Amino acid sequence: MPQATQLRPFSFVLAVPDLERNTTYFRDSLGFKAEWPEGTGWQLLSRGDVRIMIGHCPDAVPPSATGDHSYFGYLHVDDVDALHEEFVRRGALIQQPPADKPHGMREFVVATPDGHRFMIGQDLAVREGS
């Protein structure tokens, strides 16, 4: 039986100046589904087990102005190159293409129109073993 204090993931939360533009980007360029009706000031986006809540915050500091603090997540996948190819086809904002890293991961960096960034990685040991 789970403890009442057990933490479980729900979603990333991002402040965005333009809710509609970001909803469209996550849907069309990253393949997420918009889960909540628009017009509430919030949107929940999902793809598989990943959920991202975006909130309309037109006066917030732009993520592009926060340097390395604009990173909000690291997602793990089974085939990083296939997902990268999909994102490129969809017109996603790729900041760094897939590359093998010394810490044993193959990773690439994705950005949003406002400058939020996240990394997607695949374990090289699993990749080489397949």
Average pLDDT score over residue span 42-62 = 94
* pLDDT tens per residue across span 11-26: 999 999 999 999 999 9
- In this structure, is residue 7 part of a structural domain? no
- In this structure, is residue 55 part of a structural domain? yes
- In this structure, is residue 3 part of a structural domain? no
Residue ranges making up the domain that contains 115: 12-129
CA 27, CA 8: separation in Å to the nearest integer? 25
> Is the pLDDT score of 3 beyond 90?
no
* pLDDT tens per residue across span 63-108: 989 989 999 999 999 999 999 999 999 999 999 999 999 999 999 9
> Is the pLDDT score of 130 beyond 60?
no
- In this structure, is residue 114 part of a structural domain? yes
CATH number at residue 109: 3.10.180.10
Number of separate domains in the chain: 1
CA 43, CA 19: separation in Å to the nearest integer? 8
- In this structure, is residue 51 part of a structural domain? yes
